[in-house]
Chains A and B, each alone.
Chain A
Amino acid sequence: MSSQAVRADRGIITPFNVIAGIIVIMGMVLTAWRFAGGLGAVTNLDNHYPWGLWIGLDLMAGVALAAGGFVTSAAVHVFGMKKYSSAVRPAILTGFLGYALVVIALHYDVGRPWRLPYPFIMSQGTTSLLFEVAACVALYLTVLFLEFSPAAMEWLGLKRARLIVVRLMLLLTIFGVVLSTLHQSSLGALFLIAPGKLHPLWYSSYLPVFFFVSAVVAGLSMVIFESSITARYFADKMDETHKQQKTTVAFGFAKAAAFTLAGYFFAKVIGIAVDNNWHYLATGYGAWFLVELLGFVALPAFLFAIGAREQRLGLVKFTAGWSVFGIILNRLNVSLIAFNYHLPASERYFPSWQEIGTSIFLITLGLIAFKFIVTRMPILYSHPDYPDEH
């Protein structure tokens, strides 16, 4: 098992550290390049494609995948599903890191990052859905930080501050769900203003609904996916509750994801029906749309259901990865692949290696931070001083 090999040599020179180190050095070079040379120096963005990989993947997909935080905390704190309590902290942590990365990525993407607070302090463009997204992401990042902070405070031994936050948990959770609903859907609503550019099969007045529902799926799948990863690499950090709840979480979330995906499937079909877009299904884009709809919505719904029915943990884990990939594909479809569908192939966008490298760099930063925190703070186990307070 490679996990054992990784754990065996505990020195600084582990495969993870070496690869991460190389990526970080590359990322730092790219960062200097980007900020000294401008967007034109490192990206393939042009006037037809103002938004590229950094928006399509880092923002659109990143925010969707970070939805596990609000989904899990809502299930446990609001709906009272105590049997999933051990999934809350890992999900909140991934959510927090995910949103932090989104905000960092935005600094790379906008032309004048030091002006990012302008929408709030200088000039409020309240008619823009981007204003709504910016406000919610900023607020939600704060909420996630607070939701995550008890773990850090337990680690640091700040008992009193921790108690205050723990008392606020329900409030924070509800606030987090409201903010998530708003900005997850608004990310889809960003494209409502461009009916001429987004292919009719993807453009729909239901875009905000689609984005929200698929974000819930992404969140659920990410929790399963991530717990299978942590179980593999950080098993030594897990306490009994986490180990025991792990399968309950996987099967419970798989069922929820299956059912949500089924609803999403029908919603998408209704989306075609209300705009009478059936004839597009016979085109090339239609085939691609069907690949997404059948291969990455219907299929994972079915596989999740089988996995949960027959208690096949391996299948559930695989499907979680599959459906995460499907949501990423959907976000890329909306923001890049089906965007500017009317342009000739020669004018279409493909990311530069620097854009791809920067995205990989940011994801690596997230992984490093995750590893650092999980190996130190009570994320996968309850702190001995604060047992059983989930």
Chain B
Amino acid sequence: MEGILTLHDFMLYTKSVTYIIVVGALLGLAGFFWFLNERDEDPDENPPAEH
């Protein structure tokens, strides 16, 4: 942060960090989605309340 004096440098730094976080976010969200749905793949085919 001390070495950052131009907008370009600032953006280079923050955007790089952001890209890394975005990759992490995508992986995290995918994992979370799996976690959310893995259990009831079968029962949800025929939710009891629907019929």
Contacts and interface: CB of A to CB of B under 8 A. Distances in A.
- Complex contact flag A–B (Cβ < 8 Å): yes
B22 A262 contact: no
Interface in A270-321: 270, 273-276, 279, 301, 305, 308-311
Contacts of A258: 32, 36
Interface stretch (A128-136, A171-179, A242-250, A332-340): A242-250
A263 interface: yes
Interface residues of A, number: 25
A89 interface: no
A309 B40 contact: yes
A301 B36 CA distance: 10
Interface in B1-51: 1, 10, 13-15, 17-18, 21-22, 24-25, 28-29, 32-33, 35-40, 47, 49-50
B1 A248 contact: no
Given A259-B32, A262-B29, A270-B21, A247 B39 contact: no
Contact of A305 (B1, B10, B25, B32): B32
Contact of B28 (A83, A266, A279, A311): A266
A71 B25 CA distance: 24
Contacts of A310: 39
Contacts of B21: 266, 269-270, 273
Given A83-B47, A273-B18, A266 B40 contact: no
Contact of B29 (A245, A266, A269, A311): A266
A199 interface: no
A253 to B, nearest CB: 13
Contact of B40 (A259, A273, A276, A311): A311
Given A83-B47, A273-B17, A309-B40, A259 B25 contact: no
A199 B32 CA distance: 30
A255 interface: yes
A245 B14 CA distance: 46
Contacts of B14: 273-276
B35 A248 contact: no
B19 to A, nearest CB: 9
A83 B29 contact: no
A246 B49 CA distance: 9
A262 B11 CA distance: 26
Interface in A220-272: 244-248, 255, 258-259, 262-263, 266, 269-270
Given A258-B36, A266-B28, A309-B36, 15 more contacts: A245-B49, A248-B47, A255-B37, A258-B32, A259-B33, A262-B32, A263-B29, A266-B25, A269-B21, A269-B25, A270-B18, A270-B25, A276-B13, A276-B14, A276-B17
15 contacts: A255-B36, A258-B36, A259-B32, A262-B29, A266-B21, A269-B25, A273-B21, A274-B14, A274-B18, A275-B14, A276-B1, A301-B32, A305-B32, A309-B38, A310-B39
Interface of A: 83, 244-248, 255, 258-259, 262-263, 266, 269-270, 273-276, 279, 301, 305, 308-311
